[in-house]
Structure formats: structure tokens, C-alpha cells
Amino acid sequence: MVWSAADLLWSLTKYRPLTVFESICANLLLVLIASQAITPIHNLIKGNQFPTKGKHVYVTGGSVGLGRAVAIELAKQGAHVTIVARKEGPLKETIELMKQALAGQKGKDRDTTRQQFHWISADVTDREQSIRALDEASANFGGKVPDIIMTCAGTSIPKLFLEANIEEFESQMKLNYFGGLYTVHEATKRMVETGVKGKIVMTASTMGLIGFAGYSSYSPTKFAIRGLVECLRNEFQMYGIGIHIYYPGTMFSPGYENENLTKPLITREIEGSSGLTSEQAAKGMFAGLRKGNFGVTTDFDTNFLRIAGRGVTPMSNIGWDYLLGLIAPFGATSFLWEINAKVKNYGKKMVKKDL
């Protein structure tokens, strides 16, 4: 008896009817295949869900690494860009790179209006300086708050818990969490007061989805960002403001080189050596934002962790998220055993070394 889509399709093969179990499995497979097709079709119909052309985009940490790469991508996309960081030299270098990137664009890709690029020297860990930087950025556009806020400033000082000092815990939380919070809080207040339906993107990390040895002073700062963004995603429904979170994996940047100066051997062993350049990470981030993804990832491992710990947040791809969601508990358990074993072995080696 034909009672489902899978049974109907199977009946066309003239083979024996499917058993109940086979039918259930076949129908689940059909649902997954169909859902995989739904997401790209949905994205195609809705188009670019993160337009930047002609928008004023405010980027913190815009002098180096991901922030610089994001600013350059925005220049090529036709956006007006304000970058913020402490050091004037690297800020000016980024502006020149943005101009060069724009000059290299084909005519059809360039904005017909004159793009504006500005830099502001400010320490985003200081609330008053964060407010002053937003004031300056807005003044360049008739006092209007930027349309898009992207927080990319951050740092990591990987050390084992007992080797890190308390000041290092405090400084990373100050920059990674409060540095973004000050900017987002002030910008959102202005958006709501002036009726701007803006967008906000906060940068977390793979370490905002998982924690392991060596990142006890860094990972909590990224989990804090994740918690903040998940709260704001819901709360901002009242204002029509969109918010996204980006979870980059390892990025080969000046910051990564500094990390490796203090990174424990066990941390290197667990995280491996694969990664992306800042430019690749920026391109991948915008690809996810254009699809309207709430949680954006640019590598398989981080996407797996996002799905495994998704909680009550929007899916990026219905079929893929469901499929990996079924596998996630097994993969997570396997990884847990693996990193536990590595840390225990590392501990034994340290004990022998001390003896």
C-alpha cells in the first residue's frame, strides 16, 4: 500500500514494497533533501539580506587583521566606512588600502556616489572615548548614526589557567566584551531614538562555542558576546534592528602571531594548524551575512559546534542544521574524549619533567 512520497517513488521501481522502518528512513531522507533545496531557493528569492552599498558602516578594530579586511571588503562593496582603533599609523594604512581596493574595482561595481572613508583614533575599552568616536563618525554624515556597526576589535593571550595573571583576564574581558558593548549600546540607543533600522555584527570566535586548555582567559569573553547577542536578537525585534554574530576560527593575522608567543603546547595540539587569512574570513563573513544567517561561520568545525550548541537561535540551513544536529552528540562526545586524553597525557609529561 502506497502511503507516503517515498513509498510512491519506490513503487515505480517495481521492487518489493518498503518495510515500515525502510519507509520511515526513506521519508526522512526525502525531507532532508527537500530542506537542503529550500534554503538556497529562499535565499535566492529574498536576495542580499545585508546590503552595504551606500551605507555608512562603522568598524572597530579596523586598523589590522579582520577589521582591516572587513573595511577593505566594504570599500569594494560601495559602502562609506569609518574605522576606529587606537594607533593612527595602521589606521591611515588601512584607508590607503581601501582606496587602492576601490580603484581596482571595475566600473560596474563601483558606487556612483562619492564614497567616504574616515578613521578615528580611540580606545574602545574606554566608554567616553567610544562615545566620542561615534560622535565624530556621525558628524561626518550630518549627525546621523551609522547604518551598520561591526565590532572587530579583540585580543587573545592564551595561557594555562594557573600561568595567567588576573590582569590578563581583566584586560581581555575589557577589550573583547566591554569594548564591543560600549559601542553597541550607544549606537543602538541612537538608532532607536532616530528611528534607524540598522544592523549590528559582533565578532565572537570558535572559542565562544567551546572551551579547552589554554583559553580560560579568552573563551569566557567570547561566550559573553554570544550571550549578549542572543539576548539582543530577541529584544531588537521591538525596534526592527538586525543583529548577527560571527564565529571565526583560526585567522593568520598579526594577532595570531602574538598569540603564539604565549600559547601552550597542549593548546596548539588541540586546535591544530589549519585556518584562514583575515581576507578569507572577511569574505566568508559577508557571504553568510548576505544570506541573512544569524550565526555566521566560515569553517566546518566551527559550524558543527554552532549546530551542536545552537540552543534557541535561528538556523542557517534547515536541512544541514537538522542533519548535523543528529550527528552532533556523537561527534561532540568523540571530541571530548580526544581532548581529555590529550590534556591528561600532557599533564603526565609535565609531572615527569618536574621530577
Q: Are 33 and 320 in contact (CB under 8 A)?
A: no
pLDDT at 38: 60
Binned at pLDDT 50, 70 and 90, residue 104 comes out as: confident
Residue 216 and residue 188 share a domain: yes
Q: Are 221 and 172 in contact (CB under 8 A)?
A: yes
Phi, psi of 216 (to 5 degrees): -65, -20
Classify burial at 156, counting beta carbons within 10 Å of its beta carbon; exposed 0-12, middle 13-18, buried 19 or more: buried
Grid coordinates belonging to 154: 579583540
Tell me whether residue 352 is in a domain: no
**Which residues fall within 8 angstroms of residue 70, CB to CB, at 6 or more apart?**
59, 62, 150, 152, 282, 285
Residue that is last in its domain, among 47, 64, 79: 47
Residue 226 and residue 287 share a domain: yes
Tell me whether residue 346 is in a domain: no
CA distances from 165 to 23, 169, 171, 215 (A): 59, 7, 10, 13
Residue 144 and residue 5 share a domain: no
Catalytic residue status for 218: yes
Tell me whether residue 332 is in a domain: yes
Q: For residues 187 and 324, which has the higher predicted lDDT (pLDDT)?
A: 187
Catalytic residue status for 246: no
Residue 178 and residue 31 share a domain: no
> Parallel, antiparallel, or unpaired for β 251-252 and 148-151?
unpaired
Residue 73 and residue 40 share a domain: no
Residue 108 and residue 18 share a domain: no
CA distances from 35 to 6, 27, 292 (A): 15, 12, 17
- Amino acid identity of residue 247, one-letter, is Y
Q: Are 82 and 58 in contact (CB under 8 A)?
A: yes
Give pTM, 2 decimals: 0.86
Residue 270: domain span: 51-340
Phi, psi of 207 (to 5 degrees): -75, 0
Residue 196 and residue 101 share a domain: yes
How many domains does the chain divide into? 2
Alpha-carbon distance of 287 to 223, in angstroms, equals 23
pLDDT at 325: 78
Tell me whether residue 347 is in a domain: no
Grid coordinates belonging to 69: 579586511
Grid coordinates belonging to 239: 525596534
Residue 219 and residue 84 share a domain: yes
Cβ atoms within 10 Å of 8's Cβ, excluding its own: 10
Taking only the tens place, the pLDDT of each residue in 217-259 is 999 999 999 999 999 999 999 999 999 999 999 999 988 999 9
Catalytic residue chosen out of the listed positions 55, 159, 199, 222: 222
Q: Are 125 and 174 in contact (CB under 8 A)?
A: yes
Residue 148 and residue 34 share a domain: no
Taking only the tens place, the pLDDT of each residue in 297-308 is 999 999 999 988
Tell me the average pLDDT across 334-353: 89
Classify burial at 129, counting beta carbons within 10 Å of its beta carbon; exposed 0-12, middle 13-18, buried 19 or more: middle
Please state, for a pLDDT cut of 70, what percent of the chain lies above it.
83
Residue that is last in its domain, among 28, 47, 66: 47
Residue 180 and residue 254 share a domain: yes
- In 9-108, which ranges are E strands? 56-60, 80-85
Tell me whether residue 223 is in a domain: yes
Tell me whether residue 26 is in a domain: yes
Cβ atoms within 10 Å of 90's Cβ, excluding its own: 19
Cβ atoms within 10 Å of 332's Cβ, excluding its own: 15
Residue 167 and residue 22 share a domain: no
Catalytic residue chosen out of the listed positions 218, 246, 247, 346: 218
Cβ atoms within 10 Å of 151's Cβ, excluding its own: 27
Tell me whether residue 59 is in a domain: yes
Residue 60 and residue 185 share a domain: yes
CA distances from 36 to 33, 41, 44, 119, 161 (A): 5, 9, 13, 42, 42
Q: Across the chain, what does the average pLDDT equal?
A: 89
Domain of residue 195, CATH code: 3.40.50.720
What sign does the dihedral 64-66-142-191 (CA atoms) show?
Answer: negative
Tell me whether residue 351 is in a domain: no
